[in-house]
Structure 1
Amino acid sequence: MSHDKRVRRFRRLWLTLGVVRLIAAGLWVGNSSALWGGGDGRPLLLAHRGIAQTFPLDGVENDTCTASRVHPPDHSYLENTLPSMRAAFAAGAGMLEVDVQVTADDQLAVFHDATLECRTDGTGRVRERTLAELRRLDLGYGYTADGGATYPLRGRGRGLLPTLEQVVAAFPERELLVDLKNDDPAEGGRLAAYLATLPAERLKTIGVYGGDASVAAVADRLPGIRATSKKIMKDCLVRYLATGWTGHVPAACRHTELHLPQRYGRLLWGWPNLFVDRMRAADTRVVLVAGEGPWSAGFDRPADLAEVPAGWSGWLWTNRVDAITP
């Protein structure tokens, strides 16, 4: 190769690298959270099941009884009960997440586990019991922090299991997020039938999430409701990764909710605060969850807040709103 050809090839290479640098700089400037993000430093708090007893996530599997491994209790609240929910809102929660299942007599019971043996003094599946049967159970029966030597919450949960209708009535102007625990279209249809009876203004304050099939059943009946599932979130994020560099928010990301750990968020255009601003403009809530493992964890201790991006103005997922608000 002649000297002149080598010079021309070298110049073309540098020109190409220069163009790439300019494009990269333009993408950075256009998607810089530091330059364009709001980030007023006022996170919103989503109280997961109200104020709950927490537990270590190490070694947790789908069938792990988490009530048998809670941290030593420093409060007496039981998740998914009205006292726990009232305490969460009083402590500063902006939204409440509750777990819902359909009972044998077609009621919308607020309870997490599909079976009763872990937390209560009952047996069998929630969907095999009537609401009256469930309300006779002690919801604090199975909680222990010392391998079963003591059960400090036993006897505190009898008669506390609420229905979704009771929760909605108890907090008439509050934001609620309903988690359909069973990915069953029939249960989604039952929830949709109840939600359809609510006034339009009240329905605006209620979101639904869960399995793909159950959430789809709700969205089909109530297309205007805020709904999310793994499929909905994946569709949104895949499309945003492809086009978000332009600032465009795809239709799949509008009027929904995104639950994201930081490890995923860091991949998104404009993360963190510009991304939150873009989604807020599209009427979508961004909820940051803690943890890097397979399970979503809450920001439950003051020390956990060190992991929150500076200036974060989206939502934070927490089981202990009372502990982190101060």
Structure 2
Amino acid sequence: MTEGNFVDYIKIHTQSGKGGKGSSHLRREKYIPKGGPDGGDGGRGGHVIVKGNKEMWTLFHLKFKRHLRATHGGDGGKQESTGADGQDVYVEVPLGTVIRDTNTNKIIKEITEDKEEFIVARGGKGGRGNVHFKTSTNQTPRYAQPGIEGEENDITLELKILADVGLVGFPNAGKSTLLSVITAAKPKIADYEFTTLKPNLGIVKYRDFKSFVVADIPGIIEGAAEGRGLGHRFLRHIERNSTLLFLIPADADDIVKEYQILEDELRRYNPELLDKDRIIAISKSDMLDAELKEEINNSIKGDFQGMKYIFISSVAQTGLQQLKDILWENLNKQV
């Protein structure tokens, strides 16, 4: 999938079908001149339904669909025949899609399971035919119910990536390079900030044919929690990752301070993100000799007390197997 095909935010106007009207038909057959009412009910209007699809990774297929309309229910007929139901409209979305009311920004539903369905616009009920209104004092009612109008809703679909591990770091920290080395993913890589503008997913192959999913997400900048830079569009993608891998380059001016800034951005956006397991990888460590690495190790040991951290180099491919071991152990420690 190319970067331009990744769409994670869509606004759609949905309109369900109107219910069909009931029939006020009176039975008229040879030798039965006064057969009484036999009008059938109207059919239900079509629903607009959002459905989860585990094979999908993007909302790109909805990029040019701004309006979704279901068909109306058919009218009732004679001999108590019920009108046909309107045709439902299905909107397939990737797992991890959040449905919001566009006007209130309230979350309506989160789709997290394959083939899970949720009706976002319910079709109107069909009207009842005159056969339902026959009484002892009114043997030939000549009226029936009209169908109920359908619903119109404005919804927003937001995709939150479902991955086991989310890469967190400043722009140009080496996240895309790491993903390209430990997975088969081929993200765009260049030596400037914000190379990654869309999230990338990669499957890490582990021992004994096991695997887990890593998401390389656009880098954080200070103020991301307030929406600066890529802001909330980035931060919502790490809400579903069970483990956060903080990537800090070895040539950073202050490794501990850089981590604290990243941590603070997550706290301000959603404090619950800090309840997730966190692992720190100091990237680009091929730039360090043994003496400098030991010096950095001694300086950060107290600040990262209790947290797992590891020196890695994606270019020299050092520390990567140990990193995989740490991630796998962390993801499966409660299994």
User: TM class by shorter-chain length?
Assistant: under 0.3
**Greater C-alpha Rg:** 2
Structure with the higher fraction of residues in helix conformation = 1
Higher relative contact order (CA 8 A, sep 6+): 1
Normalising by structure 1, report the TM-score. 0.26
Structure with the higher fraction of residues in strand conformation = 2
Normalising by structure 2, report the TM-score. 0.26
